Structure 1
Amino acid sequence: AANQRWAMQLDPRREKGDATAHGDGNPFKWVERGDTEYPWTSEFAIVMTSLFLGLTTGIAVAGFKTGIKATREFVYSGPYSDLVNNVGKVVSNNVATLLNVKAASINIEYALFPLIGGLSVAAIMVFQGNNLGPGVKGIVQEIDDGKPIDIGKYGAKTAAAIATLGSGVSLGPEGPAVELGAGMSRVISERLRMPRDVSHVMISAGCAAGVAAGFNAPLSAIVFALEIVQPSVVQSDDSPKSIRAAAPAVFVAASISAIACDLLLGGGETFEVKKDLVRMLGENSRILELPVFFALGILCGVCATSLRKSIEFWTNFYKGKIPNARFMRGVPRPMRPVIGSLVCGVTAAKYPQVLFFGYEKITNILVGTKGDNLMSLLTLTFVKMQLTASSIGSGLVGGIFAPSLFMGATLGSAYSQVVRGVFGLNLGSSPTYAIIGASAVLAATFRAPITAVILLFELTREYDVIVPLMATAAFATLTIDILESEGGQSANPTWAWWWTINSQSAAMA
């Protein structure tokens, strides 16, 4: 019929050399897709579309980061800050008198800073009917189910992430940036009426574009998409043509997105590691240091396992599934982010370092952690872990890339102090161990050792760090595999675990 819409796809029988496929010699077949004629899905067209996807994602992530920065300025140095500081001084003095401590040691105002983020997320949830839209896994499911796109929910989730991160809640921007890239791919696929298998490729390219723009690290983004995303979204009946186009599409989208975002932000709001921070031992001593890195990898694997377990615990807590927390079932869904932001704020009154202020805190740790003793570093690792898990479980919107790096950096620096002070070993610098620890926790948390190693190498530009990075990331990933398999939990070899947890949090009733 004239009003039917068709798309040209490569006949899978032709791919297999089946002689029955299109005797006229045409290797393509037309499949019904909608209302208008759509005569292209070639590999070249897929790659060119990924170029546009990379550009739009780079612009979108730049806008997203600008929104976080503007919100942070409003909360911490604008009118809201003036109000909170005035209230905080009065409350701090009264609390100090009651507890017989110095007022300067209590930062009561920090309890109110994240609160505005929780209230904003609650308002958005009410407006959206308690549904902030799908994560990456939900986007893939929408495509497979043929559901129409709801752009409003994508925008609402991005706004909720801006409010969450701008108010300092203990999460990170990379997860939302990845979802923003996946969302942009969904919009483009829907507008161009792309077939399902091509839409899967666009999701991989969109996620790569999100990571590239988020970290200004296109090489890591490419590895991330091909190591983690593509194996999770590709299906057995996807055409060989679309699978072949995945790698070049990811390459193009990641590179264009990183360039676009960097041009718009001028290099700001990105994680940077100074090159001179990495100081390793001499050539003859490096082999002796490897066992020390193996042990660090095991500790990082334990840390990543604890983070994952904590996220599951706090998610169940806010759902009211914990035996002693059944009362949470009666808490209205929009109130849970408010509670999560209050938990974050009250804790930050004592440990303000755990709040999200871009990558400033991680950078301070890498510079040398002056004034941070062993116990304070371990305390920050534990507190950051629990606040991150609580924030995710309550429904606040953000990712765990940055928190994983923070926890790994503090744990690595603490480990350096132990091997130096307790065992008296003359090893590499403390920032070196912080960088390697950050990579290892990231690798184990997402079960993405290649991505983690490439990312930290791309940020440091130091080839000498590659071998200890690989050794530590390998042992960290092995440790989490062993711990979770012994705990009766099936191993999730990719980022699919995070998609599942994120989707459950977003859909809590």
Structure 2
Amino acid sequence: MQISSILVNLLNRFQPQAAVVMLVVAMIVGIATGIGVCLFRFLIGFMQNLYWHDLALKLNTINPWAIAIIPVLGGLVVSFLRIYIQQTEAGFSGLSNAVAKEGGRLPYAKIPLKTLAAAMSLGAGASLGPEGPSVELGSNIGSLLGQVLKFSSERIRLLVSAGAAAGLSAGFNAPIAGVFFALEVVLGGSLGAERSNLNNTITVVVIAAVVSGLVAQIGLGGEPAFNLPVYDVRGFWELPLYLGLGVLASFVAISFSKTLKISQDLFAGKIPRLAIVGEIPMPLKIVIGGLCVGLTATQLPEVMGIGYETVESILQDSPFSLWFRLLLLGAKLLLTGICFGSGFVGGTFAPAIFLGAILGSAYGQALGLIMPVTMPIAAPPAYALVGMAAVLAGTVRAPLTAVLLLFEMTRDYRIVLPLMAAVGLCAWMVEQIYPQQGKQVRAEADILQKIKIAEVMNSHPMSFRASMPVLQAAQVLTSGYFHSALVMDSSHQLVGIVTTQDIERNLSKRLNLMTVSEICSRDLLYTHADESLAEALRRMETRDLRQLPVVDRNITSRVLGIIERQAITTAYSTALTKQAIADKIAATKTELPNIIETEATSSMLTKDQVLRLTEQESIKSS
């Protein structure tokens, strides 16, 4: 890529500071994402006008039921786009997996058509949201710039996270929530080195989110997403009522997540009792989903599309009956699952907000019917606000993002306390009942469980005599930029570990008269060479340690080496790369069997020889 080479040569020539480069690139990510989200929103509006104004007027003259075909027509176009771009894993789990396992290298070439598919889906009335595609758009822009500039995997991950923050910031006009979303969801499952440099990480993410939000305000306007009348919490005694809403929100969030999963499995032919049907072809899937959307449009239009108009009505205390609110809750849950599983493209933020608003308003209305007149409570819209944040937090598993997002969307801080209470309880209950974030942790543990400490440990660590003066030890550590050293007695038995922090804590004392044995840490945790890296990391985390001595299993005072946290991180990244290469080789074997046979015949090589050459080429290209 010629542009990539030119930019890299410029960076090599002028050699600007790394922090300056990252901040400039973060600004570019923010500007590009903000512009992209504005164009995406305009495209959604254009599609909605095309489908539901121009086309709907013509069809309505034929038969009022004919408008049910509109989502089907839009869905067919979406299905062909998805087949063309070969869309695979989507959503926030796919994004966090790409950050953790693929060094943030996303297939950015597909994002224009994928964004078009999302705009056509939402324009056709699919019960999904625009925020997921906005986040994906920003993440791919960050990945593109990182790959063009040939950054390291660590920096590309950071730019992907900055792009995600920029996408959410522009999509909701909520830069603070965008920052916390990137930290909670995108980087939350990564074992990478970003955590060791948190200040730089936050700075880059904040810059991208703020710039993107500013661009979106210029293009889309700076008004909050929802206009609210005044609602106040009536008293501290009302807080338990909001906790009750948090409990209900947890069950709605779990039901929502399970509905999405079941719908995907159903259309993919993965439901055991329905497996005989097999996977439904993409065009047929989306026709079924589009038909459901179209029929819903004729009978219950409040639940189709993004749904923010209905949410606005609820927050304005629209006179819906309690039973109608419950009907909207069930219909939205079912329709979103169908749209998601059938192949329409969109996010789950907006449906979660819709479900939370309906749940909260129904809960508030029910309380108004059963609470005595002597105990006045807040109006249903106040409970709707809290429900929006609670269901969103339970669905996305990002409580801080949900609280800040609702604050930025409404710009009303009067119900922050009940908001935090309900969100916190909902997020905790969801994680206890339906744990999902732990899957990434378990995946990391599975990888580290397969690697033995003996493969990674430093077998020749720095060591000091117990009688060495502290000042001399300090000079050795600082001159070589070391962090720690083992302390051994005259019999070469382990006494403890001395670190630069140990020396700093004793600077006020007379160090010239002290030895390292007097200041070293003696109450040590240690590990054995035949144990796994997962076990070593677990022991480090119990006391926030950076290293552990590796000792003989039978003679614990005999040191075999030392294992450091940084070495575990490196081993984990290497294992992921090794797995990616193995997957690439496996894919090459399945995709090119005929080529291998042809090459083996035409070049007079054996099949095994050609296969080895293919593996070598796959490794080079990876």
TM range, normalised to the smaller chain? 0.7 to 0.9
Q: How does 1:51-450 map to 2 (within 5 A)?
A: 51-78=27-54, 80-89=55-64, 108-128=65-85, 130-131=86-87, 138=94, 145=102, 150-232=107-189, 234-237=190-193, 240=196, 243-267=198-222, 272-281=225-234, 286-326=235-275, 328-357=277-306, 359-370=308-319, 372-424=320-372, 425-450=375-400
SS at match of 1:396: coil
Q: Which has the larger radius of gyration?
A: 2
Matched, 1:457 2:410: no
Contact 1:277 1:432 in 2 (8 A): no
Residue of structure 2 in register with 1:49 after alignment: 25
Distance 1:210 1:36, change over 3 A: closer
* Number of equivalences: 435
How much has 1:326 moved relative to structure 2? 2.9
- Matched residue type, 1:316: D
Distance 1:85 1:75 in 2: 12
Q: 1:301·1:444 contact (CA, 8 Å) conserved in 2?
A: yes
Cα distance in 2 for residues equivalent to 1:57 and 1:211: 10
By how many angstroms is 1:272 displaced?
Answer: 2.0
SS in 2 for 1:313: helix
Change (3 A) 1:492 1:440: farther
Alpha-carbon contact 2:104-2:153 (below 8 Å) kept: no
**TM-score when normalising by structure 1:** 0.79
Quote the residue 1:19 is aligned against: none
- Code of the residue aligned with 1:255 in structure 2: it is V
Q: Which moved more, 1:434-443 or 1:346-355?
A: 346-355
The 3-state SS of whatever aligns with 1:199 is: helix
Structure 2 Cα separation of the partners of residues 438 and 391 of structure 1? 21
What is the CA-CA distance between 1:317 and the residue it aligns to? 0.2
| Root mean square deviation of aligned Cα | 2.9
Superimposed CA distance per residue, residues 72-118 of structure 1 (whole angstroms, 9 cap, x where no aligned partner): 0001111x1223212333xxxxxxxxxxxxxxxxxx34522322321
Separation (CA, whole Å) in 1 of partners of 2:439 and 2:405: 21
User: What's the CA shift for 1:294?
Assistant: 0.7
Distance 1:440 1:423, change over 3 A: same
Deviation at 1:6, TM superposition (A): 13
Could you list the per-position Cα deviations for residues 368-422 of structure 1 after superposition, in whole angstroms to 9, with x for gaps in the alignment? 122x111110111111111111211122110111101100001101001111112
Displacement of 1:366 in angstroms is 0.8
How far is the alpha carbon of 1:314 from its aligned partner? 0.6
Aligned AA for 1:319? Answer: A
Counterparts of 1:491 and 1:420, CA distance in 2: 39
Gaps of 5+ in 1: 8-32, 90-107, 497-509
The separation in 1 between residues aligned to 2:35 and 2:11, in whole angstroms, is: 30
**How big is the shift at 1:280?**
2.7
Please list, as runs of the form range in 1=range in 2, the aligned pairs for 1:483-502 lying within 5 A after superposition: 483-484=433-434, 491=438
1:100 matched to which residue of 2?
A: none
**Secondary structure of the corresponding residue to residue 63 of structure 2:** helix
Structure 1 contact 384–407 (Cα < 8 Å) conserved = yes
The match for 2:608 is: none
- Cα distance, 1:220 vs structure 2: 1.3
Query: 1:316-342 CA distances to partner (integer Å, 9 max, x unpaired)?
Result: 100111244335525323332222222
Cα–Cα, structure 1 residues 245 and 423, in superposed 2: closer, same or farther, change >3 Å? Answer: same
TM-score for the superposition, normalised by structure 2: 0.65
Go from structure 1 to structure 2 and tell me whether the alpha carbon gap of 1:225 and 1:492 turns closer, same or farther (over 3 Å shift).
same
Aligned-residue offset at 1:450: 1.1
Aligned partners of 1:368 and 1:146: how far apart in 2? 47
Q: Classify 1:109/1:355 alpha carbon distance in 2 versus 1 (closer, same or farther; 3 Å).
A: farther
Q: Percent identity?
A: 33
**Is the 1:408–1:437 contact (alpha carbons within 8 Å) kept by the matching residues of 2?**
yes
Q: Is the 8 A contact 2:126 2:306 kept in 1?
A: no
Shift of the 343–45 alpha-carbon distance from structure 1 to 2, 3 Å rule, reads same
Q: 1:222 to 1:146 in 2, by over 3 A?
A: closer
Aligned-pair CA distance for 1:460: 2.3
Contact 1:139/1:186 (CA < 8 Å) preserved in 2?
no
* Equivalent residues of 1:311, 1:392 under 8 A apart: yes
Whole-angstrom distance in 2 between the partners of 1:351 and 1:194:
50
- Counterpart Cα distance in 2 of 1:54 and 1:361: 31
Q: Secondary structure at the match of 1:331?
A: coil
Distance 1:493 1:368, change over 3 A: farther
On the 8 A contact 1:443/1:452 being kept in 2, the answer is yes
> How far apart are 1:230 and its partner, in Å?
2.0
Contact 1:125 1:334 in 2 (8 A): no
